[in-house]
Structure 1
Amino acid sequence: MKKTGTIIVLAGIGIFFVLSMFWLYSKNSEDPVIYATESPSKNTIIKKTVATGSIVPKEEVLIKPNISGIIDEIFVQAGDVIQSGDLIAKVKVVPNVNSLSSAKNNINSARTQVETARLALESQKSIYERQKELFEKGVISANEFDNAQLSYNQAQQRYNQEKVGLSGAQQTFDIVKTGTTSGLGTSANTEIRATVSGMVLDVPVKTGNQVIEANNFNDGTTIATLADVNRMIFEGKVDESEVGKIAEGLPLEITVGAIENKNFDAILDYIAPKGVSENGAIQFEIKGTLNKKDTTFIRAGLSANASIILARADSVLSVKEALIQYDPKTQKPFVEVETGEQQFERKDVELGISDGINVEIKSGVSEGDKIKVWNQIKAAPDFSKSQ
């Protein structure tokens, strides 16, 4: 029994020794670990944040009628470029029965007053002519003649005033009935004309639609929307986490989804002082005026993205941000620079701006240095030895 146990122990020791030797041989035969390197290069680094929004005209003018009625004819359509004063539409007036009746009664009353004033004028004229003959014969005094002349002049003035009143009543009646009248030019007519020059963006009404004039109690019906499409702005929103990083006057790079391979420059000129809650997040409205140096036509309402440039460094020495390490105690950045074959030395660096991929190197390394990449790779197998 003792002999058998001894043999088993010796056999186990032998097997363990053989396995140990095989493991050591395998470790020694593994390929050595090799670290790749990268050198700094000159790049332009732009630190920016992105806002989503759309392109809209800087100013839109709503054309509204100055009288209520029904659209009789439309002379423009969306996309037309028109000048100030061009005819847009005509409105056919549908008179209000009560207003028409009241205006007609006013005319009848004015005519009665004119007739009364005419009769009074004729009476005073007869008296004046008789008093004049008597005065020339020396029958009456100059004072009595002057009184007769004054009464005649007053009767004539009253008659003229009543005629003006009749004319006003007639004009009111014409406006109520037809929407226009003689002697008022374009202040009361059925022709709707452009008040500014620009492009027609929208014509929301059609022939036969009823329209309401703009007044103190109603905004009125919009007949057309005009805008200068050469003065466009970007309107968008930024999150509350980004609004503290931006300021008015920063440059914008606008990209429009419908216009490929084209960027437009703009200047951020408005940041809303108050945020609005949207889907649980606070959003702040921003606006930027486009600097259109070319003739590319941008349609109003197109979706766009604005890259707000927070900082920019042109042609500066930079490396990939993944190559930067930080001291666990001091949190200062450093890199490892190759000094020999797979031998590296730590060098502290001073960083500048970063775009999230590349970071500016202000000092610590030069353009020709080889910086250690922390991804370990194995040496490529040498197939020439196996042949």
Structure 2
Amino acid sequence: MKRFFIGLTIVIILGLFVGTGYFLYQKSEEPPIIYETDTPFKTDIIKKTIATGSIVPRKEVALKSQVSGVVEKLYLEEGAQVKIGDLVAKIKIIPNVVALNNAQAQLQTAKINFDNSEKELKRQKELFDEKVISEFDYNQFLLDFNLRKQEVEAAENNLELIKEGSSQKTGNVSNLVRSTVNGMILDIPVKEGTFIIESNTFNEGTSIASVADMSEMIFEGKVDESEVGKINVGMDLSLSVGAIEGVIFNAKLEFISPKGESDEGAIKFDIKAAVDLKEEYFLRAGYSATADIILQKASDVLAIKESNLIFEGDDIFVEVRTGEQQFERRQVKTGLSDGINIQIAEGLTEEEVIKKL
């Protein structure tokens, strides 16, 4: 019995040794490496640069008043379509006290001179009828009378213009703001009751409204100095508008600024492009947009992922599958790249399989 237990103990110990050895052997063996593969494919490769900016009308005009005063009435709202001459606002003139007093004094002086001239003309007319003075002398007093009469009319018109912004003689109404172009009212920055300043030689004046032709829009953006040398006027742009997802608008580059400006530490150049509008979409002024400027394009070419290339000096290689998990290195010639896909000009066919790196 004792021998039986001894033998059983020996068997168990041997089994433990054998099991431990097998476990350690299995653990020491490296698992086989399985390489992932990829295949060449046909695609379009586009090399492009990106410009950020906004959509704005090509022509936008600010309407200003010819007189200072208070906005008495606004006749239209933002979004309204207007034509040349349409009434937009009426300005209530608040006369300048000094100018008003001067105009009243000038009118009073002109009336006094006119009355004196009229009396003198009547007296000289009697003398002329009695042949006491010559016709030449009489005409001098008649001329003075007409001049004094004209001074009174001019003073009255001047006073009326200062008080009302218009005169009966000229019929011009300077306190009415009318549209000078055809288009849409984009913005009315003032409200009824707002005090405004007239536009003149020395002052830009207060804007009453801005009007633009929304049928002709352009993209205004900026391009980094590292890319501006690669673009030219006439290039095609693809615009992605932030407010209209999934829709691409075509545009044609028509202006590149000859002078760059510093923007957050980088030199950037302004560009402009004419936008090809779509009838089903309304582009509002100020929409942010991103422009893809196509520098080069290759259509329907054989390509692979650029990450699958092996670079050694000036040579470029890929690893082509020759058997099950067997690959050989092969030199290839590449073409256009968009940063993700790269054109394979020579060295591969569409049917071959390459190692994925």
TM class by shorter chain equals 0.7 to 0.9
Matches within 5 A, 1:341-360: 341-360=324-343
Q: How does 1:167-246 map to 2 (within 5 A)?
A: 167-186=153-172, 188-246=173-231
1:287 aligned onto 2:276: no
Output the amino acid matched with 2:161. I
Q: Structure 2: state its 5+ residue gaps.
A: 1-16
Q: Could you tell me which residue of structure 1 aligns to residue 320 of structure 2?
A: 337
Separation in 2 of the partners of 1:227 and 1:25?
Answer: 78
Q: How much has 1:342 moved relative to structure 2?
A: 4.3
The TM-score, its normalising length taken from structure 1, stands at 0.79
User: In the alignment, is residue 165 of structure 1 matched against residue 148 of structure 2?
Assistant: no
Query: The residue matched to 2:282 in structure 1 has which SS?
Result: coil
Tell me whether 330-339 or 358-367 shows the greater mean CA deviation: 330-339
In structure 1, the partner of 2:7 is none
Q: Displacement of 1:63 after TM fit?
A: 0.6
Q: 1:377: which partner in 2? A: none
What's the CA shift for 1:361?
1.9
Return the alpha-carbon distance in structure 1 between the equivalents of residues 165 and 75 of structure 2: 19
Query: Structure 1 vs Structure 2: percent identity of aligned residues?
Result: 44
Contact 1:181 1:189 in 2 (8 A): no
Structure 2 counterparts to residues 1-12 of structure 1, below 5 A? none
Structure 2: how far apart are the matches of 1:154 and 1:368? 111
Partner AA of 1:62 in structure 2? A
Shift of 1:345: 4.2
Are 2:285 and 1:300 equivalent residues in the alignment? yes
What is the alpha-carbon distance in structure 2 between the residues aligned to residue 56 and residue 227 of structure 1? Answer: 9
Output the CA distance in 2 between the equivalents of 1:48 and 1:169.
69
Structure 1 gaps, min length 5: 1-14, 135-146, 375-387
Q: Could you tell me how far 1:309 is from its partner in structure 2?
A: 1.7
Matched to 1:173, the amino acid is L
Partner of 1:110: 110
* Alpha carbons of structure 1 residues 185 and 253: separation in structure 2 relative to 1, 3 Å: farther
Which one-letter code corresponds to 1:360 in the other structure?
Answer: Q
Q: Which amino acid aligns with 1:197?
A: N
SS of structure 1 residue aligned to 2:134:
helix
User: What TM-score do you get using the length of structure 2 for normalisation?
Assistant: 0.85
Q: Is 2:108 aligned against 1:125?
A: no
Q: CA deviation at 1:158?
A: 3.0
How many Å separate the matches in 2 of 1:126 and 1:257?
88
Greater C-alpha radius of gyration: 1
2:238 equivalent in structure 1: 253
Q: Distance in 2 between matches of 1:321 and 1:286?
A: 31
* Partner Cα distance (1:260, 1:295) in 2: 14
- Picking from 267, 276, 295, the partner of 2:261 is 276
SS in structure 2 of the partner of residue 274 of structure 1 = coil
Q: For residue 336 of structure 1, report the CA deviation from its aligned partner.
A: 3.0
Residue type of the alignment partner of 1:84: I
